[in-house]
Homo-oligomer: A and B are copies of this chain.
Amino acid sequence: MTPEEFRRFGHQLVDWVAAYREGIRELPVMSRVAPGDVRGRFPVAPPQDGGHFPEALEAFQNDLLPGITHWNHPGFFAYFPSNTDLASVLGDLLASGLGVQGMSWQTSPAATEVEEGVMEWLRGMLGLSAAWTGVIHDTASTATLCALLCARERSSGLAQSRGGLQSGDPALVVYASDQAHSSIPKAALLAGFGRDHLRLIGTDADHALRLDLLEAALAEDLAAGRRPCALVAAVGTTATTALDPLAGMAELASRHGLWLHVDAAMAGSAMILPECRWMWAGVEAADSVVLNPHKWLGVGFDFSAYFLRDPQHLIRVMGTNPSYLHTAQDGQVNNLRDWGIPLGRRFRALKLWFLLIEQGVAGLQARLRRDLAHAQWLRERIAAQPLWELLAPVPLQTLCVRHVPVALAGNEPALAAHNLALADRINRDGRFYLTPSVLKGRQMIRVSIGAAATERSDVEALWDELQRHAEA
Say whether B165 contacts A87, CB under 8 Å: no
Contacts A68-B100, A113-B38; is A47 near B106 (CB within 8 Å)? no
Pick the interface stretch among A213-221, A275-283, A321-329, A379-387.
A321-329
The answer for the CA separation of A221 and B116 in the assembled complex, in Å, is 45
The answer for the CA separation of A343 and B320 in the assembled complex, in Å, is 26
Return chain B residues, CB-CB under 8 Å to A111: 67-68
A14 at the interface (CB under 8 A from B): yes
Contacts A7-B18, A192-B164, A192-B166; is A50 near B363 (CB within 8 Å)? yes
Known: A5-B86, A35-B329. 20 other contacts (CB 8 A): A1-B85, A3-B21, A10-B17, A11-B14, A31-B110, A53-B354, A64-B110, A84-B96, A88-B96, A89-B99, A101-B301, A152-B192, A160-B189, A182-B343, A183-B320, A190-B191, A190-B318, A190-B341, A192-B192, A323-B439
The answer for the CA separation of A66 and B186 in the assembled complex, in Å, is 42
Contacts A68-B110, A301-B101, A357-B47; is A196 near B162 (CB within 8 Å)? yes
Say whether B17 contacts A70, CB under 8 Å: no
The answer for the CA separation of A3 and B84 in the assembled complex, in Å, is 12
A406 at the interface (CB under 8 A from B): no
What is the distance, in angstroms, from A378's C-beta to the closest C-beta of chain B? 19
Say whether B353 contacts A56, CB under 8 Å: yes
The answer for the CA separation of A129 and B424 in the assembled complex, in Å, is 40
Return chain B residues, CB-CB under 8 Å to A312: none
In the complex, residue of chain B having the shortest beta-carbon distance to the beta carbon of A365: B48
Say whether A83 contacts B56, CB under 8 Å: no
The answer for the CA separation of A125 and B46 in the assembled complex, in Å, is 8
Contacts A86-B3, A194-B167; is A323 near B437 (CB within 8 Å)? yes
B-contact 0/1 string along A48-72, CB 8 Å cutoff: 1111110110001000111111111
Contacts A60-B94, A320-B182, A342-B138; is A45 near B11 (CB within 8 Å)? no
Which residues of A from 101 to 133 have beta carbons under 8 Å from B? 101, 105-111, 113-114, 116-118, 121, 124-125
The answer for the CA separation of A197 and B164 in the assembled complex, in Å, is 8
Contacting residue for A320 out of B20, B165, B185, CB 8 A: B185
Return chain B residues, CB-CB under 8 Å to A342: 138-139, 141-142, 302
Say whether B13 contacts A94, CB under 8 Å: yes
The answer for the CA separation of A163 and B171 in the assembled complex, in Å, is 9
A42 at the interface (CB under 8 A from B): yes
Contacting residue for A362 out of B37, B43, B48, B294, CB 8 A: B48
Say whether A69 contacts B108, CB under 8 Å: yes
Say whether B67 contacts A110, CB under 8 Å: yes
Contacts A50-B360, A160-B189; is A138 near B141 (CB within 8 Å)? no
Say whether A30 contacts B85, CB under 8 Å: no
Return chain B residues, CB-CB under 8 Å to A15: 7
Say whether A72 contacts B86, CB under 8 Å: no
Return chain B residues, CB-CB under 8 Å to A410: none
Say whether A437 contacts B324, CB under 8 Å: yes
Contacting residue for A14 out of B10, B21, B343, CB 8 A: B10
The answer for the CA separation of A37 and B332 in the assembled complex, in Å, is 13
Return chain B residues, CB-CB under 8 Å to A109: 31, 33, 35, 37-38, 67-69
Return chain B residues, CB-CB under 8 Å to A343: 139-141, 182-183
Return chain B residues, CB-CB under 8 Å to A5: 86
Return chain B residues, CB-CB under 8 Å to A403: none
Say whether B94 contacts A93, CB under 8 Å: no
Contacting residue for A49 out of B172, B196, B362, CB 8 A: B362
The answer for the CA separation of A35 and B1 in the assembled complex, in Å, is 34
In the complex, residue of chain B having the shortest beta-carbon distance to the beta carbon of A353: B56
A417 at the interface (CB under 8 A from B): no
Say whether B97 contacts A194, CB under 8 Å: no
Contacting residue for A86 out of B6, B30, B191, B193, CB 8 A: B6
The answer for the CA separation of A262 and B398 in the assembled complex, in Å, is 45
Say whether A164 contacts B96, CB under 8 Å: no
Return chain B residues, CB-CB under 8 Å to A269: none
Say whether A96 contacts B92, CB under 8 Å: yes
The answer for the CA separation of A101 and B292 in the assembled complex, in Å, is 14
Contacts A17-B10, A20-B97; is A195 near B161 (CB within 8 Å)? yes
Say whether B446 contacts A324, CB under 8 Å: yes
Return chain B residues, CB-CB under 8 Å to A239: 323-324
B-contact 0/1 string along A293-314, CB 8 Å cutoff: 0100000111000000000000
Contacts A79-B324, A192-B191; is A361 near B48 (CB within 8 Å)? yes
